[in-house]
């Protein structure tokens, strides 16, 4: 199982693109602006999209993806998400005002897009691959994901803040190889991080103290213009954990 980073920024600008990961060649984990890095043929191969939550930087390219390749495919793209995320997409995005409702186009019997509800702790099996929703704490209902190949595991936190339940699940994973976790703000913006339910380096340090695994930790969702500052603060304030900034086109073999 291979995970390719298409976008991992908390904003846009130049090469910076928002959250989207390509799992093998047929699954997206979130569909932010990084999805636009894919060719038309690569987009055509996407069968499943697993969403962490409803915020625009994680869902922005679903409408354009479906519109671009829906008619080229023989089956619909399946969006997997918690019920609150699906409801938000239907009400605020695929509502015939912002974008057409592709769950009824070209017809209800054979749409370009279908929604499948998941819940925290639920595992979706796709061949030998297992994708399990993990608890997240954000300003809207949200999840992270545990990706399993049978040979190893990777965990993506999604957008989250202080969250003991997340670490309880992570520490139970015997074959964990990689952890990707968000840190959106610098320490000078700690209060904003708390208000928006994101992490900053000092909060990240408090969370990583709960990690019982010796695995590399990759930092994602950094705000544009603060990449160097955030990573410097992580380096200065956190010891005993291997941390590295996630970058576009990084590949994880699981």
What does the pLDDT look like over 4-32, one tens digit per residue?
999 999 999 999 999 999 999 999 999 99
Average pLDDT over residues 188-196: 97
Q: Vertex 169, ends 199 and 184: CA angle to 5°?
A: 15
Whether the Cβ atoms of residue 121 and residue 114 lie closer than 8 Å to each other: no
In-domain check, residue 254:
no
Structure pTM? 0.97
Can you tell me the distance from the alpha carbon of 54 to that of 88, in angstroms, rounded to the nearest whole number?
Answer: 7
In the chain, % of residues over pLDDT 70 = 100
Cα→Cα distances 219→81, 180, 222, Å: 23, 6, 8
Q: What is the CB neighbour count within 10 angstroms for residue 120?
A: 16
Kindly state the average pLDDT of the residues 231-244: 96
Q: What is the pLDDT of residues 65-106, one digit of tens each?
A: 999 999 999 999 999 999 999 999 999 999 999 999 999 999
Is 218 within a domain? yes
For residue 9, being part of any structural domain is answered with yes
Q: How many domains does the chain have?
A: 1
CA-atom Rg of the chain in angstroms: 18
How does the average pLDDT of the chain come out, rounded?
97
Provide the pLDDT for residue 27: 98
8 A C-beta contact, residue 133 and residue 147: no
At CA 122, angle to CA 67 and CA 34, rounded to 5?
Answer: 35
Q: What is the pLDDT of residue 156?
A: 98
Residue 49 lies in a domain: yes
- Calpha distance 171→31 (Å, rounded): 27
In a domain, 6, yes or no: yes
Q: Which domain holds residue 115?
A: 2-249
Q: What is the pLDDT of residue 173?
A: 98
Contacts of 13 (CB under 8 A, 6+ apart): 224
The structure tokens listed for 239 are: 């010891």
Please report whether residue 75 resides in a domain: yes
Q: Quick one: pLDDT band at residue 51, thresholds 50, 70, 90?
A: very high
37 phi and psi, to 5 degrees? -75, -15
Residue 57 in domain: yes
> Counting every residue, how long is the chain?
254
How far is the C-alpha of 169 from the C-alpha of 144, rounded, in Å? 11
**pLDDT value of position 144:** 98
Q: Is residue 229 part of a domain?
A: yes
- CATH code at 104? 3.60.15.10
59 touches 89 (CB < 8 A): yes
Phi, psi (degrees; rounded to nearest 5) at 110: -140, 70
Whole-number Å distance between alpha carbons of 83 and 88: 9
Distance of alpha carbon 69 from alpha carbon 41, whole angstroms = 9
Q: How confident is the model at residue 128 (pLDDT cuts 50, 70, 90)?
A: very high
């Amino acid at each position: 199982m291979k995970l390719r980073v298409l976008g991992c920024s908390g904003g846009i600008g130049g090469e910076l693109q928002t959250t989207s990961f390509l799992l093998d060649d047929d699954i997206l984990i979130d569909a932010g602006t990084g999805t636009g890095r894919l060719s038309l043929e690569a987009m055509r191969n996407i069968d499943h999209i697993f969403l962490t939550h409803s915020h625009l930087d994680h869902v922005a390219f679903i409408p354009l993806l479906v519109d671009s390749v829906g008619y080229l495919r023989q089956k619909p793209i399946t969006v997997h998400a918690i019920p609150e995320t699906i409801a938000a997409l239907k009400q605020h995005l695929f509502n015939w005002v912002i974008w057409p409702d592709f769950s009824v186009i070209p017809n209800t019997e054979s749409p370009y897009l279908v929604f499948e509800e998941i819940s925290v702790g639920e595992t979706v099996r796709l061949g030998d691959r297992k994708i399990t929703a993990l608890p997240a704490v954000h300003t809207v209902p949200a999840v992270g994901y545990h990706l399993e190949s049978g040979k190893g595991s990777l965990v993506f936190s999604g957008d989250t803040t202080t969250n003991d339940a997340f670490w309880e699940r992570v520490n139970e994973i015997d074959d964990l190889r990689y952890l990707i976790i968000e840190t959106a703000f610098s320490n000078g913006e700690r209060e904003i991080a708390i208000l928006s339910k994101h992490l900053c380096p000092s909060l990240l340090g408090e969370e990583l103290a709960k990690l019982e695994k010796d695995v590399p930790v990759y930092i994602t969702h950094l705000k544009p213009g603060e990449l160097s500052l955030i990573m410097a603060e992580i380096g200065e304030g956190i010891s005993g954990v291997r941390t590295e900034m996630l970058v576009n086109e990084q590949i994880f073999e699981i």
